[in-house]
Copies of this chain bind each other. A is one copy, B any other.
């Protein structure tokens, strides 16, 4: 779906609360001609009401309490769209705005639901694929509204239903005390969330957002950005006038459009004749006066800011879920290596790190470097380059377990590197050497740092390191933050298997709203590892005699865990200021390669540490069920890194809490009888907890 501009004949911008006045008359003579005219004018699509005021009149007369509460479908004289029009693929249908699916009057609600179903049925018959339904009119009957939408989705099984919603409620601060219910800047998002939760995240249900003259706060904008917004409603009244009298958008609205156009919504222009009249001060406006809005939108669309390197690199992969690579157990293809070698930033940082390591050494003489997991050799080349710059003589071992990559390396040695490089085909964990190595360089990091088993691999190879030796990277850490992403949740849900929600994914996160201001550092690994050394033999050179004896004496099916020192547990606490629903959490890593040379994919530090590095997308840990979190609640995420000698895996769970100000429950009860102690104690109340995901590594793990 490309971004299109469309025109709505609907003369009024829609507001959220309260009934709309009936359009006095339709501005256009609704016919095939008007569609044709609109398309000729450069619009892609025309948005038209499905029925006309005659239908409304009939329904209204039925709504008097009478014997029959059954509405018959609209007749030919009651529809706005001709049933035999060839242009209906270019039409969006607008469901009557006067219906009240959430009426307190059972009869009105029932008639409204029938009108909705009739209009949807007629639109579907005409071949109209997108139908806009007015949003709910009441805060307290959302369940009623949602049930009607759910029925409509089932009755029109191929129609995309778009709920027309305001971005936010405009709360008059003077009236706050009159509206004790939960009015907040994202209360309309809250209502949308309730509707789609009740409807169980249907793929054909999306949002049509009315763009207001005054844009709401960043909190509201980034929330909607994570939702399925398929239409932007843009009134001519929102436009400003430039010095030449043409309609233009404010800077804020331009930025808004730049951001949201990434989601590829349709834009529906409203009130353009009326706005053109106001702009030109003429009663009769020319076609040019009207199409000026469309032309501006086209212009805006052509002049989008250029994509960042990550946007360029990740094009088409936005929010696409990939299983993390398992380079330890799977051999990569040459193409995969090639993709990663293209990173302009990562290898620069490695070269800098090797250079610093070489120049800061006290010892003189030949420096032995081992590039472990050498792949096709990019780090070998960088090591040689760094040595040249540092004016140091080096000998480089290129250790690679993938036999095909080994051949590739042999060729590079023959053609480029010569005698200063030795290529070794070996698993780094079992590679042994008579002499000691000064610097071990590896690039085994995954999106969460240790998730491609870097700690286990480096534990094995560090035996070849001299006591004074250096490992690059020196350390790396895992980080996470809770997030909302209905898009990712739906993708996982649609797989319809337990495994899907118990697997971490690598994904270029786009339609994701982070739910806290702090990112939590979970844990760190440093190399060389003091704990690993003492256990090297027993871990990787087969079982020692003692261990073998010990294991035979074990009566359980859980032999002693040898990699215990690489297990981790971390609990992160996050304050979630604005109500939201949590679908999972995003994970990142940071790494100190050497000295002050770092790389990072944490959104708040990547710009400073390794701007425009593209090798890693974030990791996503899903939740099998969304957790709703009210305003000012606390989210606690617990993550474990576990192992059983054969595999390594993550387990995770989430708990949520709110702090009720005032008094504790017991306190409150007591004080209702005697109000002596008024010392307010806050009480922290558990709201929900998830199950333990991927318990015992049942669904996903990395093989050792």
Q: Is A274 an interface residue (CB 8 A)?
A: no
Q: Is A660 an interface residue (CB 8 A)?
A: yes
Of the candidate stretches A191-199, A308-316, A349-357, A590-598, the one touching chain B is: A191-199
Of the candidate stretches A318-326, A395-403, A557-565, the one touching chain B is: A557-565
Q: Is A70 an interface residue (CB 8 A)?
A: yes
Given known A72-B550, A73-B554, A696-B154, contact A685–B564 (CB-CB < 8 A): no
Given known A117-B556, A553-B73, contact A689–B198 (CB-CB < 8 A): yes
Complex Cα gap A681–B692 (Å) = 38
Complex Cα gap A567–B147 (Å) = 14
User: Shortest beta-carbon distance, A645 to chain B, in Å?
Assistant: 11
Complex Cα gap A632–B665 (Å) = 9
Of the candidate stretches A2-10, A173-181, A373-381, A414-422, the one touching chain B is: A173-181
Contact B176 A667 (CB under 8 A): yes
Contact B144 A638 (CB under 8 A): yes
Q: Is A604 an interface residue (CB 8 A)?
A: no
Q: Is A359 an interface residue (CB 8 A)?
A: no
User: Shortest beta-carbon distance, A701 to chain B, in Å?
Assistant: 13
Complex Cα gap A25–B179 (Å) = 66
Given known A144-B638, A681-B177, contact A110–B155 (CB-CB < 8 A): no
Which residues of chain B come closer than 8 Å to A670, judged between CB atoms?
A: 173
Q: Is A218 an interface residue (CB 8 A)?
A: no
Of the candidate stretches A16-24, A182-190, A443-451, A457-465, the one touching chain B is: A182-190
Contact A194 B660 (CB under 8 A): no
Chain A 657-678 per-residue mask, 1 if CB under 8 angstroms from chain B, else 0: 0101110111110100000010
Contact A695 B154 (CB under 8 A): yes
Contact B655 A143 (CB under 8 A): yes
Contact B70 A184 (CB under 8 A): no
Complex Cα gap A210–B565 (Å) = 38
Contact B194 A121 (CB under 8 A): no
Q: Is A683 an interface residue (CB 8 A)?
A: yes
User: Shortest beta-carbon distance, A45 to chain B, in Å?
Assistant: 22
Of the candidate stretches A285-293, A424-432, A623-631, the one touching chain B is: A623-631
Given known A73-B554, A198-B691, A561-B70, contact A630–B154 (CB-CB < 8 A): no
Given known A554-B73, A557-B121, contact A689–B194 (CB-CB < 8 A): yes
Contact A125 B555 (CB under 8 A): yes
Interface residues of A in 190-218 (CB under 8 A from B): 190, 194, 197-200
Q: Is A67 an interface residue (CB 8 A)?
A: yes
Contact A653 B556 (CB under 8 A): no
- 19 A–B pairs (Cβ distance < 8 Å), ordered by A: A69-B564, A73-B556, A106-B569, A117-B558, A121-B558, A125-B555, A143-B571, A147-B638, A173-B670, A176-B667, A181-B683, A182-B683, A198-B689, A198-B691, A199-B691, A199-B695, A630-B686, A630-B687, A631-B665
Chain A positions near chain B (C-beta within 8 angstroms)? 67, 69-73, 106, 109-110, 117-118, 120-122, 124-125, 143-144, 146-147, 150-151, 154-155, 171, 173, 176-177, 179-185, 190, 194, 197-200, 531, 534, 550, 553-558, 560-562, 564-565, 567, 569, 571, 579, 625, 628, 630-632, 636, 638, 640, 651, 653, 655, 658, 660-662, 664-668, 670, 677, 679, 681-692, 695-696
